[in-house]
Amino acid sequence: MKPTIKDIAAQAGVSIATVSRVLSNKRGTYSEKTKEKILKVAKELGYHKNTTAVDLVKKKADEIAVIINATPTNFSNMILSGIQQRATELGQRVIILYAGDRNTDMQHQAITTVMARSVSGILLLAVEPDATDLELLKETRTPFCFVSLYFGDDQILSISSDNKALAYQATEYLINNGHTKIGLAGIDDYHTGSQRVLGYQTAMRDHGLVAKNDWVKRGDYSYEAGRQLLQAFLPLEVTAIIAASDMVAVGLLNAAQQSQIAVPDKLSIIGIDGTFICEVTTPPITSVTQNFYEIGVRSVDKVMGKATETFVPTRIVVRGSVKLNR
Amino acid sequence: MKPTIKDIAAQAGVSIATVSRVLSNKRGTYSEKTKEKILKVAKELGYHKNTTAVDLVKKKADEIAVIINATPTNFSNMILSGIQQRATELGQRVIILYAGDRNTDMQHQAITTVMARSVSGILLLAVEPDATDLELLKETRTPFCFVSLYFGDDQILSISSDNKALAYQATEYLINNGHTKIGLAGIDDYHTGSQRVLGYQTAMRDHGLVAKNDWVKRGDYSYEAGRQLLQAFLPLEVTAIIAASDMVAVGLLNAAQQSQIAVPDKLSIIGIDGTFICEVTTPPITSVTQNFYEIGVRSVDKVMGKATETFVPTRIVVRGSVKLNR
DNA sequence: ATGAAAGCGCTAACAG
DNA sequence: CTGTTAGCGCTTTCAT
């Protein structure tokens, strides 16, 4: 049997109330002497506070729940580091629930699980919620915040890069380097994808270029998607492609090399994300790099009710996969 | 205020006990009619069971806690999938606690947090515990199991690949392909590392070869380690290197290519892990592939008290980074 | 500075 | 089949 405050109280010859006060650090409500005694007994007994009981009586857990979607891209670690860091600073524990790979059932289940626990906030990492999920989430009084996903709905908390701006930035970078026929590969049909298409199209228009419809190809952000899409781009004769993720970029790169298309001489590729994988390919991949750590930090602020910008700036990191114009 | 069973009871004109019975599916203890009514009211009120309260009264949470270490290598997703899958089958929820990157404090904190909750099992993923951690863990009555780490202590539950056998397998594969001067790069000084050294040395000896001491180089399983270690191997004139992880393998590969050393013609490299990264390099990396999903599945079995083999078999996946002997 | 007692939301005997 | 009651381990008034 695990020891409880009752055991400590008995051992120390005080009431459970006193034990509770000492263990919860309610300073000024107990004498130094009883404190010493209680702490000593607690250690002897190998006591650990039962969080479940505390949470029940306090009707709130100092805990942030992160529901995470295992997408093919893997920037999650960086976001998690940021979350963990900031949460600890704010005295919150962090628990992570894994929602599989875009698996609706598991997503549901994760949300339900979290709602049944009185967490102080819910962070949804790369989760595209369906109508039911959103319903559930709203129904709860717990604040929730989408991370790395922007709804375009200011009623719903979220933190992410500005996908429109990001795509604009990538497109403009390519245009500035002399490209006019630019593809966009591997984006999805949801919020993130459409925002990026918009940014891409706007940049093209702003520079007096036309973005052909079939220059935009859907995919699932994966390496395989990248590989396959290269073939689709071949007859289109674009000179540069914006990849929806680093993984897509690597897929394009490898497929290109296999087809004897020199990167960046014949084809330029720019990735989106800027994870380590950009650095280990040959040539290394130029990317629009997202500040994932900061996204994590701010998501905690946001869900804890602190004011923060919704968008975290991105930047171009020049490596070797885009042909430079000089 | 969130609705409770009390609210439902009031609304439905029954006692809270009946509500509890229906909501906990204690079949045969209630009539179909009251069930309908209660379920209806519950839905209307937007009721969700309070797990905290349930866990408290049951003195156990149907929940497995995974403490995960963010190592540079990233096979964790696959292990997590396996864990999630099996846990769900066994009616257990899964929560994940992130322990940072070999960060002692966070590791401690994670373990303490978990102990304060009455989880049914603790899984430690790629966590090298220090003495204090182990002390804490043992003190609790909760079963715990190390995943992807073998202690060589049969008192302590663990699931992993057999690191000795794995290294033996890699070494033998290289020997069978004509190599006699073989390096081992990037292993750590803990359990995993020393087991691999042992397997490597044994294989060499079994084939009548001597393994020179400086053919074994320590590292931290990272890409950077791989890059740096290649330089150290250059004067040693080994013809093949076993990399402690896929990331180390990529580091070696890139550094070699930069130094104009053809892989696999001048230098063969074999990786350990077999994650996706092996498939995206040029040449793709031959690896000893671990069955991470299965490791995840079995770790749940183990921690839930089911009998399972401690070691999960590995296999060689031939790609393009080892020169074949024919 | 400390104790007694109520109660967080739920389950599980025990009666009926 | 259903209601009553006693807790689970802890915090928090309210007294003293």
Helix (H) or strand (E) holding B47, with range, is none
Our measurement of CA A40 to C1' D14, in angstroms, reads 29
Our measurement of CA A116 to C1' C14, in angstroms, reads 30
Question: Does residue B4 sit at the A interface (CB-CB below 8 Å)?
Answer: no
Q: How many pairs of residues across A and B have Cβ atoms under 8 Å apart?
A: 102
pLDDT digits (tens, 9 = 90+) for B182-207: 999 999 998 999 999 999 999 999 99
| CA–CA separation, B226 and B241 (whole Å) | 11
> Residue A102 CB: number of other CB atoms within 10 A?
16
* Confidence class for position B75, pLDDT limits 50, 70, 90: confident
Best CA proximity match to B171, nearest among B200, B198, B195, B208: B200
Question: Which pLDDT score, from 0 to 100, does residue A31 have?
Answer: 94
- Test the A interface: residue of B73, B117, B277, B278 with most A CBs within 10 Å: B117
By percentage, how much of chain B surpasses pLDDT 70? 98
Contacts of B141 in chain A (CB under 8 A): 2
What's the whole-number average pLDDT of chain A?
A: 94
Predicted TM-score (pTM) of this structure: 0.91
Question: Which pLDDT score, from 0 to 100, does residue B111 have?
Answer: 93
* CB B55 within 8 Å of CB B118: yes
Question: Which pLDDT score, from 0 to 100, does residue A18 have?
Answer: 97
Question: Which pLDDT score, from 0 to 100, does residue A71 have?
Answer: 61
Q: Name the residue facing A53 among B56, B77, B257 (closest C-beta).
A: B56
* Confidence class for position B71, pLDDT limits 50, 70, 90: low
CATH topology of domain A163-290+313-317: Rossmann fold (3.40.50)
Question: Are the Cβ atoms of A98 and B94 closer than 8 angstroms?
Answer: yes
Q: How many residues does chain A have?
A: 326
Question: Does residue B62 sit at the A interface (CB-CB below 8 Å)?
Answer: no
Domain ranges of chain A: 1-49, 163-290+313-317
Q: Is the CB of A16 under 7 A from strand D?
A: yes
pLDDT for residue A69 is more than 80? yes
pLDDT for residue B210 is more than 70? yes
Query: What is the residue type of B254?
Result: N
> Residue A91 CB: number of other CB atoms within 10 A?
8
Domain spanning B1-49, CATH architecture: Orthogonal Bundle (1.10)
Question: Which pLDDT score, from 0 to 100, does residue A320 have?
Answer: 96
Closest residue by C-alpha to C1' distance, nucleotide D13: A17
* Confidence class for position A76, pLDDT limits 50, 70, 90: confident
> Tokens representing A167?
């795509």
User: Closest approach of chain B CAs to the CA of A63, in angstroms?
Assistant: 11
Measured between CA atoms, the residue of chain B closest to residue A250 is: B280
Question: Which pLDDT score, from 0 to 100, does residue A275 have?
Answer: 93
Q: Name the residue facing B98 among A80, A106, A115 (closest C-beta).
A: A80
pLDDT for residue A101 is more than 90? no
Angle (nearest 5°) at CA B78 between B72 and B80 = 95
Question: Which pLDDT score, from 0 to 100, does residue A326 have?
Answer: 65
Best CA proximity match to B83, nearest among B45, B118, B40, B126: B126
Question: Does residue A276 sit at the B interface (CB-CB below 8 Å)?
Answer: yes
Best CA proximity match to B160, nearest among B288, B287, B305, B296: B296
User: Closest approach of chain A CAs to the CA of B104, in angstroms?
Assistant: 14
Question: Which pLDDT score, from 0 to 100, does residue B73 have?
Answer: 55
Contacts of A279 in chain B (CB under 8 A): 223
Question: Does residue A277 sit at the B interface (CB-CB below 8 Å)?
Answer: yes
Chain D positions with a protein C-beta closer than 7 Å: 1-5, 7-13
pLDDT for residue A205 is more than 90? yes
Give the mean pLDDT of B114-132: 92
pLDDT digits (tens, 9 = 90+) for A263-284: 999 999 999 999 989 999 989 9
Give the mean pLDDT of A203-211: 97
pLDDT digits (tens, 9 = 90+) for B125-168: 989 899 999 988 988 889 999 999 988 888 999 999 999 999 99
Q: What is the 3-state secondary structure (H, E, C) of chain A?
A: CCCCHHHHHHHHCCCHHHHHHHHCCCCCCCCHHHHHHHHHHHHHHCCCCCHHHHHHHHCCCCEEEEEECCCCCCCHHHHHHHHHHHHHHCCCEEEEEECCCCCHHHHHHHHHHHHCCCCCEEEEECCCCCHHHHHHHHHCCCCEEEECCCCCCCCCCEEECCHHHHHHHHHHHHHHCCCCCEEEEEECCCHHHHHHHHHHHHHHHHCCCCCCHHHEEECCCCHHHHHHHHHHHHHHCCCEEEECCHHHHHHHHHHHHHCCCCCCCCCEEEEEECCCHHHHCCCCCEEEECCHHHHHHHHHHHHCCCCCCCECCCEEECCCCCCCCC
Look at phi and psi of residue B221 and say left if phi exceeds 0, alpha if psi is from -120 to 50, else beta.
left
pLDDT for residue A75 is more than 90? no
> Tokens representing B165?
């056998």
